[in-house]
Structure 1
Amino acid sequence: MSPLRWIYIGLAVWGAIHPMYYFMSYMAENGWSLGALIDAWYVNDSTTGLTWDLTIAAITLTIWIIAEVAVRRNWSALIAIPATYCIGVSCGLPLYLFLRSRPVA
């Protein structure tokens, strides 16, 4: 595996673990309500802006993945879409780049 692919998979793992630590810490302190967590993303203009920034990035990444999968027929790369929405762009994007950069058979 190339060094670049190792970097991509490392970033995907980091992007899954690091943000999730903060989400779980918040939920442990404030109750295990997903609704309360989402409400916290809109407490001020700064967090609202960041939430919209990541939402737009996630939608853009999804469109890119679907467009490339339709051409390249790399169906396994579709796993990056649920990773993006269930974990975050910080996991979904490097995961997609990892899956996309594998040698074509």
Structure 2
Amino acid sequence: MKLRHLYLSLCVPGLLLPYAQLLPWLNEHGPDLPRLVAELFSTRIGAFFGIDVLVSALVLLVFIASEGRRLAVRRPWVSVVATLLVGVSLGLPLFLYQRQAKLDAGRP
């Protein structure tokens, strides 16, 4: 299996696993952003994971912008949207797939 295919396959759990937790919560509470944030940061361990993911997402967005521009990756905005709508668990493997596809295309 090529590395880019592995990255692409990792997008599936990167989408399904977070949404398996979010969708039931949305079904119960609706799109209540203040409540979501309050529940996320209601414990120190929750805050730890929440802040970790937010910082990781910011780093990923910088990486997508810089590496996408450097390699002229096609449609890097797709990975930005994936990161904002789902999270790092989808945005990172998706951008790594896009990046690896670009790198593979340049190889003989």
> TM-score normalized by structure 2?
0.85
Q: Which residues in structure 2 correspond to 1:72-87 (within 5 Å)?
A: 72-87=71-86
Question: Who is 2:5 aligned against?
Answer: 6
Q: Which residues in structure 2 correspond to 1:1-105 (within 5 Å)?
A: 2-102=1-101, 103-104=104-105
Identify which range, 5-14 or 16-25, moves more after superposition: 5-14
Would you say how many aligned residue pairs link Structure 1 and Structure 2? 104
RMSD between aligned residues? 1.5
| Structure 1 residue ranges without an equivalent (≥5) | none
Q: Which amino acid aligns with 1:104?
A: A
Q: CA deviation at 1:65?
A: 0.9
CA contact (8 A) 1:77 1:100 kept: no
